[in-house]
Amino acid sequence: MSGAGAYEVVQVATLGEDFDARLAARFRVLPLWQCAEPLEALAQHAGASRVAVTSVRAGLSRRQIELMPALQAACSWGVGYETLDVDAAAQRGVLISNTPDVLDDCVADLAWALLLAVARQTAVGDRYVKEGQWRSIGAFPLSTRVSGKKLGILGMGRIGAAIARRGAGFDMEIGYNNRHARPDSPYRYVASLAELAQWADFLVVACPGGAATRHLVDADVLRALGPRGILVNIARGTVVDEAALEAALRAGELGGAGLDVLEHEPAVPEAFKNMDQVALMPHVGSATRETRAGMTQLVFDNVVSFFEHGILLTPVAPARGGA
């Protein structure tokens, strides 16, 4: 490390060898994740750092922001930003960028993979064939039709809209719940989530995580979705009351669940492992080579844009106050 105040960028988390090398080739970077005492390193070396690079996994705390007195922008990897202290950033006038749009298609694809996995039992069928039960037992149990059904979406944003577009290909009726109806949306707006769940055959969760959406999908919503209903969650585990979900599945009050995210991930409720009506993925909605490359490129472009033009390409919210 060179002297105090020398670093232009504080990199809180690694975003992969290629990104790290490109960033270090262009800027003077303090690699915080390599520091044994990160807060100490910030206090000693981040006095002049104008930009922080982080991720939704690593986040950015109020304390970290306080220790970067010259900080003007935080460029984060991931579209969710509930782990960054946006209030602390806004109070200091620190702008935040995320990586929207580039991951919509892959996350929507995975929502459909999970819905089809639960409804058509594809993971179970795969085991059935590979373990020889096709030969020993014979016909596979009947599953649930997907095409032509009613699809409810909690969170008709960028990813929700991509999920809905795919639903048209399955000849589905589509409804959604947001806090506000979208005048530009061709789909049915349902102001109450429980009513949407009552109407829908399948409910896909695609809203942001964080305190404001914690347990929006509760026992009442699951009961409304019903014994033939299927819940898919590609948003955040915290949006679904997992204890209520387990209880509803055990009681047969809900037909099934496809989950890319869990409330206490990577901890997996033991019961889910033994339920054929539950399909699980390890939080990989955006995890394709193509999309991950697009996300890291967008972080890089935001950093460069801020240094060259003083603007972020994909800011999440205007900063209030500060310089």
User: What does the per-residue mask of binding to ligand NAP show for 115-154, with x meaning CB under 6 A?
Assistant: ---------------------------------------x
Tokens 């999440």 found at:
316
User: Do residues 232 and 204 touch, judged by C-beta distance below 8 A?
Assistant: yes
d(CA 172, CA 186): 13
- Of 157, 150, 148, the C-alpha closest to 177 is 157
Among 234, 257, 303, 319, binds ligand NAP (CB under 6 A): 234
Q: Helix, strand, or coil here: 173?
A: strand
* 236 is an interface residue for ligand NAP by CB under 6 A: yes
User: Do residues 234 and 110 touch, judged by C-beta distance below 8 A?
Assistant: yes
* 178 is an interface residue for ligand NAP by CB under 6 A: yes
What residues are annotated to the active site?
A: 236, 265, 283
Q: Residue 292 CB, nearest distance to ligand NAP (Å)?
A: 11
Q: What are phi and psi of 28, to 5 degrees?
A: -85, 110
User: What does the per-residue mask of binding to ligand NAP show for 83-122, with x meaning CB under 6 A?
Assistant: -----------------x--x---x---------------
CB closer to ligand NAP out of 209 and 256: 209
Distance from first CA to last CA of the chain, Å, rounded?
A: 28
CB closer to ligand NAP out of 246 and 260: 260
d(CA 143, CA 139): 12
User: Do residues 93 and 323 touch, judged by C-beta distance below 8 A?
Assistant: yes
Q: Residue 173 CB, nearest distance to ligand NAP (Å)?
A: 19
Kindly tell me the burial class for residue 235, based on how many C-beta atoms sit within 10 Å of its own C-beta (0-12, 13-18, 19 or more): buried
Residue number of the CB atom closest to ligand NAP: 157
Among 53, 283, 291, 303, binds ligand NAP (CB under 6 A): 283
* 294 is an interface residue for ligand NAP by CB under 6 A: no
Binding site for ligand NAP (CB under 6 A): 79-80, 100, 103, 107, 154-160, 177-180, 206-209, 212-213, 216, 234-236, 260-261, 283, 285-286
